[in-house]
Amino acid sequence: MTGESTIMNERNRLLECLRLKQVVRAGWTRFPIENPETVASHSWGMALLGLLTCPENLNLEKVLTLALIHDLAEVIVGDLTPYDPEPEGGKRAAEENAISQLLDGHPRSEELQNLWQEFEDRTTPEGLFVAGLDKLDMGLQAEIYENDFNINLDEFTNASRRMVKDSYLSSLLKP
* All structural domains of the chain with their residue ranges: 2-171
Check: CB of residue 23 under 8 Å from CB of residue 78.
Answer: yes
Yes or no: say if 32 and 151 are a contact pair by the CB < 8 Å rule.
yes
State residue 70's pLDDT score. Answer: 97
pLDDT < 50 stretches in the chain? 1
DSSP H or E stretch at residue 152: none
Q: What pLDDT shows up at residue 1?
A: 47
Q: Other C-beta atoms within 10 Å of 45: how many?
A: 19
Q: What is the pLDDT of residue 2?
A: 60
Q: 82 by DSSP, 3-state: which? A: coil
Note the pLDDT tens digit of each residue in 53-87.
999 999 999 999 999 999 999 999 999 887 888 77
The per-residue pLDDT for 86 is: 79
Pair 49, 133: CB distance under 8 Å: yes
The CATH number of the structural domain formed by 2-171 is 1.10.3210.10
Say how many C-beta atoms besides its own lie within 10 A of residue 132's C-beta.
Answer: 25
